Amino acid sequence: MEERQRLIKEYIEEVKRVHVNDLVELFHVSASTMRNDLTTLERNGLIKRTHGWAIALSVARVGKESFVSMRMKDNIQEKESIALAANQEIESGDTLAILAGTTTMALAQTLVNKQDLTIVVNDLNIAKWLDDNTDHKVFILGGFVRKHYYYVDFDEAAVDKINVDKVFFSCTGFSLAKGATVSDYDLATSQKKLLVRANKTILLCDSTKFGEVYFAKICSVEDINMIITDGNISRENLEILRSQDGIQFLVANQKAYY
């Protein structure tokens, strides 16, 4: 057992981040045995664990944000599948908020099939695309633009005058313990303000973000009405999310809600 745990630790240090299911297959042990090994390694301060993942200590820390131009290239198919699923939650005539993010940008690009939407945005890329390609009414929340990220850290006082049917937002990391998080404090606090003005809050979160934690908290799990993710979500994370009361959970490309 000690030799196996040593090899597991060395492998994790080499790859930096690995899913528990992959370790089970690699070391030919049961899932319960692997969980016990990882628990021992974490207790001894040798690795870090998140839901379904084992992470080397060299990277097990609060995440750092990458530029939008880099994130646009990540998980493109997953974001598109999430966007198509989220599109089904929108009815012509709705008043929406679509907040900053690359997954929410993918949602905006599906809205050519809807009529007479009013859309509140804080992302200049989303606003421009909607203005160029649709006839929807677009309301931009004003404030300072964060350089290289294209979103606006808007004046929270302005939100008190706004009501929306649904708000669609994304995050950089999500966990049950820490909620939905991003790197920028101003973005997190301003978007949180808008979430409470909506009748329904819908988080668009690709599967790579589960278990990740970033500096600033947008909201807790209890503040979210629906989570939409992609089909690559791990079995462990799927079971965890299904166990949460009061949240609709949808895996893109599947019709079942949990």
- Average pLDDT value for residue range 10-23: 84
Nearest to 154 by CA among 141, 164, 167: 141
State the Cα–Cα distance between residues 212 and 175, nearest whole angstrom: 7
Res. 126: pLDDT tops 70: yes
CA distances 250 to 71, 204, 210, 257, Å, are 23, 10, 14, 5
Diameter over CA atoms, the chain: 64
Which has more confidence, 138 or 2? 138
Residue 39: its H or E element: helix 31-43
Res. 203: pLDDT tops 90: yes
Residues 31-78 pLDDT 10s:
999 999 999 998 888 888 877 888 887 654 555 555 444 455 556 888
Res. 185: pLDDT tops 60: yes
Q: Over the chain, what is the mean pLDDT?
A: 86
pTM: 0.72
What is the predicted pLDDT for the residue at 64? 52
- Average pLDDT value for residue range 103-111: 96
What is the predicted pLDDT for the residue at 74? 58
CA atoms in the 13 A half-sphere facing the CB of 202: 25
What is the predicted pLDDT for the residue at 60? 46
Fold of 68-251: Rossmann fold (3.40.50)
What is the predicted pLDDT for the residue at 168? 98
What is the predicted pLDDT for the residue at 258? 43
Listed in order, the ranges of the chain carrying CATH 3.40.50.1360 are 68-251
38: three-class secondary structure by DSSP: helix
Res. 254: pLDDT tops 80: no
Listed in order, the ranges of the chain carrying CATH 1.10.10.10 are 2-56
Nearest to 82 by CA among 258, 250, 241, 220: 250
CA distances 230 to 24, 46, 59, 163, 233, Å, are 23, 31, 24, 29, 6
What CATH class is the domain 2-56?
A: mainly alpha
Res. 192: pLDDT tops 50: yes
